[in-house]
A and B are shown apart, each in its own frame.
Chain A
Amino acid sequence: MPVYEIAMLIDARGLTCPMPIVKAAQGMRSVQSGDIVEVLATDPGAVPDFEAWARTTGHTLLESSSDASTYRFVIRHK
Chain B
Amino acid sequence: MSTILTGGCCDTPSAPLIPLGDKGPGGRSGEIRTVALIGPPNSGKSTLFNRLTRLRQKVGNYPGVTVEQRVGLLAGAKHPIRIIDLPGVYSLTPYSDDERVAVNVLSGKMDGLPRPDAILLVLDVTHLSRHLVLAAPVIALGLPTLVLLNMADVFKRGGGSLDVLKLAGELGAPVAMVSATHETGLEVVDRFLNQDQNPSPSALLPVLQDLGQYRKWAGQVGGRVDYQPHLPSKWSRRLDDIVLHRVWGPLIFILVVGAVFQTVFGLGQPMSAAFQDLLTRVGQQAAPFIHNDLLRSLLLDGLWKGVSSVLVFLPQILLLFLFIGLLEDSGYLARAALIADRTMRSVGLNGKAFIPLLSAYACAVPAIMATRTIENKRDRIATILVAPFMTCSARLPIYTLLIAAFIPERPVIGVFLGSRACAMLSLYVLGFLAAIATAKLLKSSVLKSAANPFVLELPAYRWPTWNSIGLRLLDRGRVFLRQAGTIILAVSLLIWVLTNLPLHNGHVPQLEQSVIAHLGHAIEPVIRPLGFNWKIGIGLLTSVIAREVIVGTLGTIYGTDPATHALTLQNALRQDLTFAGAMALLVFFAFAMQCTSTLAIVRRETNSWKWPAIQFAYMTCVAYFAAFAVNQILSALTH
> Do A and B actually bind?
no
